[in-house]
Chains A and B, each alone.
Chain A
């Protein structure tokens, strides 16, 4: 699983990490099956299909059936990983996710592929910047947004080991492997602090984490000490990490998602109920105009300069 090992150079497509990890898990656990809706290639599950053809269920282009069949397979004793483009597995099959998976509380792992604005120029029908807001409402559904190949692999292993419903949001956007201390571990519901800081806290997840680290480094050069917290798990939230962030007096959240109801909304709900401090939520305002993912990130300030600006402005609002 070379793609899953921490690395300090190069860029990675986290789907490769997902695919390598699920193949390795399936070798060890015969209960693991995959379910796809004509989404073998886009989920990078060609290798899995070759190794375990009888353990891949392809229902065709039918997302309601995709998710419901996952619930049925769990009833039959399987550990299904149900994988499709995040925009469709959530939006098209939302009621199946609600009733068949979350409310029924079954052992199904939903994998939302190519999330956020990865499909850039294809437009908002194919973007998935609403998924966290929709899924966050299902209180028992674990919700994980890994930031790099190592964390993607660890998240897949963690949800496989967990007996219950989970959603992992996997990106196809190239990201670097983040620097972590030796022996770093991933735990569902536990945030990780990647940069220490005391003037403000940037809480990010997914593809925004490495950009937040870059912003913190730039701010450090001008004497601003910004903490960076990778909040990979959106449900359940690491409320202790949020309480600690509020102690720095200013919080900026950054996500490849709408500013409505995602990571920022989740953090704000905790902050406003515990220790209100100035906050800023960075993300997309709603349906976005035509453009590549890279262009959209820059256009909406989801880059080093935009995040650093937001931190300065939020620090200025401290009482």
Chain B
């Protein structure tokens, strides 16, 4: 991947934006055709995913278990519309397979399975699983003094699971600078706002208190995401937590910041309107 220097960075931002648009359109088509899914979270996470896969990570989709690959763990495993779309776009499997989403015997289960699809590192779905597994991957890299990086994307409501916080201690204790946690901070969980359910703020202070280096960015700004995710972790001495401020349903007017779209599915009219807006 090119380093995000000035003129190149503009090219890269344009490329990532184009991929993100494709992912939003394709994932919403998947949800519409399957009449199931989690499109609100797909859309809040899309720009982070596109930035990672088309601007930051080193990987070869033809060699998905290459020991040297950067790893990405999709802890918010319910957002498979966006995750499968980015994997297909990155070349892990044919884009045509996306049309089988949630069909009987499809490799595209509602939650990702590493034994079905290349590019999936661990099976997720229950919340609070991705971070501790990613920490184990990062520890393996640390033991071997390997160069690969490990990225994990969690939701924000997901941080109400205690497993995140017990593993956060381990990551900081071991100074896992090769580990990057990205929090999709869309402020909405399944049924309500996080701050109306079990408050997370001040979230940045919590992670700092746990011994992490924290960056807060606009999770829909490719330039900001590139800057914090591409920076070399060498010598930081701490794991990195990127709080990506996002909006559930980002990109479609009637879904924007609307909790109803956590696992809402579109009607024909809504689908067509969304496609008119996602251009």
Which residues of A approach B to under 8 Å, CB–CB? Answer: 33, 54-55, 57, 59-60, 62, 64-65, 68-78, 80, 95-96, 99-100, 103-106
User: Which residues in B have their C-beta under 8 angstroms from that of A95?
Assistant: 126, 129
Are A73's CB and B136's CB within 8 A? yes
Q: Provide a sorted-by-A list of 29 A–B residue pairs whose CB atoms are within 8 angstroms.
A: A57-B139, A59-B166, A60-B166, A62-B167, A64-B163, A65-B132, A65-B166, A68-B132, A68-B136, A69-B135, A70-B136, A72-B135, A72-B139, A72-B140, A73-B139, A75-B71, A75-B136, A76-B138, A76-B141, A76-B146, A78-B143, A80-B136, A95-B126, A99-B129, A100-B129, A100-B133, A103-B113, A103-B123, A104-B113
Q: Answer yes or no: B122 CB below 8 A from chain A CBs.
A: yes
Q: How far is the CA of A57 from the CA of B171 in the complex (A)?
A: 11
User: Which residues in B have their C-beta under 8 angstroms from that of A62?
Assistant: 166-167, 169-170
Annotate B115-148 by CB proximity to A: 1 below 8 A, 0 otherwise: 1000001111110110011111111110110100
Are B143's CB and A54's CB within 8 A? yes
Q: How far is the CA of A33 from the CA of B142 in the complex (A)?
A: 13
User: Which residues in B have their C-beta under 8 angstroms from that of A69?
Assistant: 132-133, 135-136, 139, 167, 170
**Given the known A-B contacts A62-B166, A69-B170, are A104 and B123 also in contact in the complex, defined by CB atoms under 8 Å?**
yes
**9 residue pairs, one from A and one from B, having the closest CB atoms:** A72-B136, A76-B140, A68-B132, A69-B136, A62-B166, A72-B137, A64-B163, A65-B167, A104-B123
Q: How far is the CA of A68 from the CA of B122 in the complex (A)?
A: 10
Are A68's CB and B129's CB within 8 A? yes
Q: Answer yes or no: B236 CB below 8 A from chain A CBs.
A: no
Which residues of B approach A to under 8 Å, CB–CB? Answer: 67, 71, 113-115, 121-126, 128-129, 132-141, 143-144, 146, 162-163, 166-167, 169-170, 173
User: Which residues in B have their C-beta under 8 angstroms from that of A106?
Assistant: 122
Nearest-neighbour CB distance to chain A for B124, whole angstroms, equals 7
User: Which residues in A have their C-beta under 8 angstroms from that of B139?
Assistant: 57, 69, 72-73, 76
CB contact between A77 and one of B67, B128, B163, B170 (< 8 Å): that residue: B67
User: Which residues in A have their C-beta under 8 angstroms from that of B143?
Assistant: 33, 54-55, 76, 78
Additional pairs, 17, CB under 8 Å, beyond known A73-B136, A75-B71? A55-B143, A60-B169, A64-B162, A64-B166, A64-B167, A68-B132, A69-B135, A72-B133, A76-B139, A76-B140, A76-B143, A76-B146, A80-B136, A100-B122, A100-B133, A104-B115, A104-B122
Interface of B (DSSP majority class):
helix
User: Which residues in B have their C-beta under 8 angstroms from that of A57?
Assistant: 139
Q: How far is the CA of A54 from the CA of B121 in the complex (A)?
A: 24
Are A71's CB and B167's CB within 8 A? no
Are B166's CB and A78's CB within 8 A? no
CB contact between B132 and one of A55, A72, A75 (< 8 Å): that residue: A72
User: Which residues in B have their C-beta under 8 angstroms from that of A70?
Assistant: 136
Are A77's CB and B140's CB within 8 A? yes
**Given the known A-B contacts A76-B144, A100-B122, are A64 and B132 also in contact in the complex, defined by CB atoms under 8 Å?**
yes
User: Which residues in B have their C-beta under 8 angstroms from that of A59?
Assistant: 166-167, 170
Closest to B124 in A: A99
Q: How far is the CA of A6 from the CA of B11 in the complex (A)?
A: 69
Q: How far is the CA of A33 from the CA of B139 in the complex (A)?
A: 11
CB contact between B140 and one of A68, A73, A96 (< 8 Å): that residue: A73
Q: How far is the CA of A165 from the CA of B138 in the complex (A)?
A: 20
Are A75's CB and B133's CB within 8 A? yes
Q: How far is the CA of A59 from the CA of B128 in the complex (A)?
A: 16
Are A105's CB and B115's CB within 8 A? yes
Closest to B163 in A: A64
User: Which residues in A have their C-beta under 8 angstroms from that of B162?
Assistant: 64
Nearest-neighbour CB distance to chain A for B72, whole angstroms, equals 12
User: Which residues in B have their C-beta under 8 angstroms from that of A55?
Assistant: 143
Which of B115, B121, B125, B129 is packed against the most chain A CB atoms within 10 Å?
B129
Nearest-neighbour CB distance to chain B for A70, whole angstroms, equals 6
Are A76's CB and B137's CB within 8 A? yes
Nearest-neighbour CB distance to chain B for A300, whole angstroms, equals 36
Closest to B121 in A: A75
**Given the known A-B contacts A60-B170, A68-B167, A99-B125, are A104 and B114 also in contact in the complex, defined by CB atoms under 8 Å?**
yes
Q: How far is the CA of A96 from the CA of B125 in the complex (A)?
A: 11
Closest to B161 in A: A64
User: Which residues in A have their C-beta under 8 angstroms from that of B138?
Assistant: 72, 76
Q: How far is the CA of A59 from the CA of B163 in the complex (A)?
A: 12
Q: How far is the CA of A64 from the CA of B121 in the complex (A)?
A: 18
Q: How far is the CA of A30 from the CA of B133 in the complex (A)?
A: 21
Are A68's CB and B135's CB within 8 A? yes
Are B140's CB and A65's CB within 8 A? no
Closest to B77 in A: A99
Are B136's CB and A71's CB within 8 A? yes
Q: How far is the CA of A307 from the CA of B166 in the complex (A)?
A: 45
Are B132's CB and A78's CB within 8 A? no
User: Which residues in A have their C-beta under 8 angstroms from that of B123?
Assistant: 99-100, 103-104
Q: How far is the CA of A240 from the CA of B126 in the complex (A)?
A: 38
Which of A57, A74, A80 is packed against the most chain B CB atoms within 10 Å?
A57
Closest to A78 in B: B140
Closest to B162 in A: A64
Q: How far is the CA of A95 from the CA of B127 in the complex (A)?
A: 10
User: Which residues in B have their C-beta under 8 angstroms from that of A104?
Assistant: 113-115, 122-123
Q: How far is the CA of A60 from the CA of B166 in the complex (A)?
A: 9
Which of B71, B125, B133, B137 is packed against the most chain A CB atoms within 10 Å?
B133
Q: How far is the CA of A55 from the CA of B142 in the complex (A)?
A: 11
User: Which residues in A have their C-beta under 8 angstroms from that of B125?
Assistant: 99
User: Which residues in B have their C-beta under 8 angstroms from that of A74?
Assistant: 136
